[in-house]
A and B are shown apart, each in its own frame.
Chain A
Amino acid sequence: MKEHPEERISANLQENKLFLQERFGDSLDFYSKDLTLGQVSCCIVLFTGLASPEKLTVMALSLLEQQNETFQNGARLCRYLLRQSRIPTEGTPITTRTMLVERLANGLAVLLIDGCPCAVGISTQEMPQRSVSNPGGEGNMHGPQEAFTELLRNNVSLLRRQFRTDSFVAELHISHTHAKTEYCLCYDRLRAPADTVAALRRRLEKVRLPVLLDSAYFASFLKQDKLNLFPAAAYTERPATACARICEGKVAILVSGSPFAMIVPSFFSEHFESLDDYSSGAVFAGIIRLLKYIAFLLSVFGPGLYVMALTYAPEMIPIRLLGTLAQAEAHTPLSPMLEMLTVTLLLEIVREAGLRAPKAISHTVSLVGALIIGETAVSAGIVSVPVLTMAAAATVATLAVPSLYEQSILFRFAVILLAGLFGVPGFACGALLILAMACGSDPFGYDYLYPLMPPCRASVRDGFVRTIWSSLARSEEEGRL
């Protein structure tokens, strides 16, 4: 694209200074200092807090003072800085005002040179940052215990140090947002299918957003069917997990300012996997994984099945249990469906309040919600104990697969409503809707249910359960995308 003449950096230092003064003159963190190098007038500009004046002095200015070169014009100084000096400058000169602003925002110090229509960026970044800490939302007993932070380059380095090969690629892109946020596609060149990477690159390139604060903002743009509620991508805050996925041939998307990596393509079975699965024994890991599948089914279908059984199909419940349930239901004024909806809603409100409330009072909120309201509702005869038990069991089961939390809640409400209003066909409709959604997600042309369906050797190798490591290692080639 041809540059606009006004976009170019002027050879006149005063014009460039004026431009920056107009843009950033009022900013507290904008720093500029005039200086003369040899016989050339220059100006150093930077943002304090992003770039360090101390680093600049040590790394650049003191080195320049030691040089015996006498620069007679700006062009020669620029060429010297870019090609000959030991000062850590960027390899390419800054030629446009947009580049100038971007480099300043990236934490570089920029040297504007009189008589030269380009500037030189010097790497003196020093940004306030959170240190690498433990992941808060992905509990694991074994394996690495470090998490991504908000700094994109730090996150890339956390991935890079896991790959001691030349095949790891970290592609930097700038999003089409007002803030021009950076994002990075990380993948293994030898393992990630080139067409998948190209398709992803193309789709992300088309994304137009007002603001990009997290990689999750991209998710809806990657969905083929917008009506589908299953996530189009998986998220992790663990570099180790991201690294494992990259080794499987997937792509990790890191966004500047976000401590989460988005992994694409993502499959349904991945929500039931964790790093611990591969650290613990195969039998135990297999049982835990099966339990997670059962927990997901319980969280989605349990309350709906209860409502359907009690309202429309009591014949399916064994007689003794039916007697107990009927006795409990006889004392409550609401229908099983309304009861279940009320309790489920209440539990969600308690959860949301506990999550959003300040930490100091979140325990109180949980206590009041769970114990006092629950206990009083039962004592007052508003809800029955079996309904409360089922709703609580479903809520706890949801937490066994936290990455599908949103879907579990939405599906649970839908199944309760359908089963409560239409009975057995309603339940069937709900189940098929969920199944069709799962089967309808085909991220980048891959089956979302792979390797679970259609049943194959991979289903038991690392799907419903996981096999022993020696077998996994043998089949590693097949497991790749």
Chain B
Amino acid sequence: MKREAPNLFAALLLGLFGNIVLSSQIGYFARTGILLLPVSVAILTVAAWGFSFGWRMLGQSPIMRWSLLALLAMSSALEILRLWRLFETAYPDGMNMLGICLMIVVPVIYLRRVSSIAQTANVVLAVLILACGLLVVSIAPQLHVSNLQCAPFDRTEVRTTLWAQLILYPELLLPALWPGSARFGKHTFLRLVGWSLMFSAAVHLLLELFFGTDAIRQENPLHTAAQSGALSIFNRLEWMQLILWTMVVTIKLAVYLYAGVRLMGGHACKSENNAVGLDRFPFYFALMLFLCALWRSADIGTLTAIRNILMGLYAGMVILGGGIRWLLSPDTRPES
């Protein structure tokens, strides 16, 4: 099949799924999540579309570009650290940080072209869905409908759920950076947000069926659930889960790197497919290693919360700034 323009939708969706399975699969019960789904989808879609619009107005500003670059670098390091912590939990003393960094960053060398990221993301997404199905089958006997919560709603639960669902992940903002972003309609963001939140609700539903009320108190509930899964040929399946998580994180990093290169002004449309030059990799690897070493002992949860707030503030600034600029100077209104 001849490809005119590689589509990074699968890569972004995979990144969002990665956020859900790696970090945000705790905090709320499924019924609240499903109930609030339309509201959250609408808010996030408008925010992502608004950012895309605002970026077209303010995207040329160096401060804006370097700020987003810094946030992406921080997000990349956080992804590596989170995975390292997960590996440390699963295999204590099995892997040092340098090794994890190396294992995650090295495949990015082969993911430096847009077509490569897009196609690899398609495959990993398909494998992730298959593996999720397999994991569900393996723990099926331990899923009980009686575990579902039926206590009345309370305000705290609704607030927690809404906050958890309204996190503005970098993946929702990145389409604004892609070439031809002006052509993206709201439906692109709607699909992205809709699928990710539906996946999140499904994961929460499964965890609730598995753990019951304990679901929101688990530190790594998916990992714990995978440890209970067994098929005839494999005793436990968490290794498969960890392999998939590693792949997902690597693809996320590749997408962030591509976005970073675009933010630094590299590679416009002419040679768009060759996104990142090989010469940048030593610097990239050193930066990731430095950031990971810097936050080695920090609390990942706190750092992630800070990143989320910063990302939200940044998006708000772009939306507001873009809107004001659009209102004040009609000449700068984008053609679309």
Closest A residue to B246 using CB positions: A428
B2 touches A429 (CB 8 A): no
Are B119 and A316 in touch, CB under 8 angstroms? no
Determine which residue in A431, A432, A433, A449 has the highest number of CB atoms from chain B within 10 A of its CB, and name it.
A432
Whether B126 and A453, one on each chain, are in contact in the complex, defined by CB atoms closer than 8 angstroms, is yes
> B155 at interface (Cβ–Cβ under 8 A)?
no
B95 at interface, CB cutoff 8 A: yes
- 1/0 per residue, CB under 8 A from A, across B1-19: the answer is 1110000001000000000
In the complex the two chains form, is A312's CB within 8 Å of B126's CB?
Answer: no
Rounded to whole Å, the gap between the CB of B271 and the closest CB of chain A is 11
B116 with A436: CB separation less than 8 A = yes
- Residue from B3, B95, B118, B119 in contact with A425 in the complex, judged by beta carbons closer than 8 Å: B95
- Which residue, of A313, A322, A433, A455, has the highest number of chain B Cβ atoms within 10 A? A313
Distance of A316 Cα from B237 Cα, bound (Å)? 7
> Least Cβ distance of B66 to chain A in Å?
29
Q: How far apart are A455's CB and chain B's nearest CB, in angstroms?
A: 6
How many residues of B sit at the interface, in one of the four size bands? 35 or more
B236 close to A316 (CB less than 8 A):
yes
Contact of A227 with B by CB under 8 A: yes
CA–CA, A437 and B242, complex, Å:
21
Q: At the interface with chain B, which of A84-92, A210-218, A251-259, A438-446?
A: A438-446
Are A449 and B123 neighbours in the complex by a CB distance under 8 Å? yes
Q: How far is the CA of A213 from the CA of B160 in the complex (A)?
A: 70
- Which residues of B pack against A, CB within 8 Å? 1-3, 10, 83, 87, 90-91, 94-95, 99-100, 102-104, 106-107, 109-111, 113, 115-116, 118-120, 122-124, 126, 232-237, 239, 242-244, 246-247, 250, 273
Q: How far is the CA of A171 from the CA of B1 in the complex (A)?
A: 25
CA distance A422 to B91 in the complex (A): 11
Query: Does the CB pair A433–B110 fall under 8 Å?
Result: yes
A residues near B (Cβ < 8 Å) are 193, 225, 227-228, 308-309, 312-313, 315-319, 322, 418, 422-429, 431-433, 435-437, 439-440, 442, 445-451, 453-455, 481
| CA A77 to CA B273, docked complex, whole Å | 60
A425-B100, A425-B242, A428-B246 are contacts. A228–B110 as well, Cβ < 8 Å? yes
Neighbouring A residues of B83 by C-beta, 8 Å: 425
How long is the Cα–Cα vector from A200 to B237 in the complex, in angstroms?
Answer: 47
Question: A432-B250, A436-B120, A453-B122 are contacts. A424–B243 as well, Cβ < 8 Å?
Answer: yes
Say whether B242 contacts A428, CB under 8 Å.
yes
Is there contact, CB below 8 Å, between B235 and A316?
yes
**Nearest-Cβ distance from residue A368 to partner chain B, whole angstroms:** 35
What separation, in Å, do the CA atoms of A319 and B233 have in the docked complex? 11
Interface pair A433/B235, CB less than 8 Å apart: no
Knowing A447-B1, A454-B126, A481-B2, the reply to whether A435 touches B120 (Cβ < 8 A) is: yes
Query: How far is A435 from B250 in the complex, measured between Cα atoms in Å?
Result: 12
Contacts of A308 in B (CB 8 A): 239
Determine if B235 and A317 form an interchain contact, defined as CB atoms under 8 angstroms apart. yes
A437 proximity list for chain B (CB < 8 A): 110
Cross-chain contact A446 with B243 (CB below 8 angstroms): no
Query: Contact at B246–A425, with CB atoms within 8 Å?
Result: yes
A439 touches B236 (CB 8 A): no
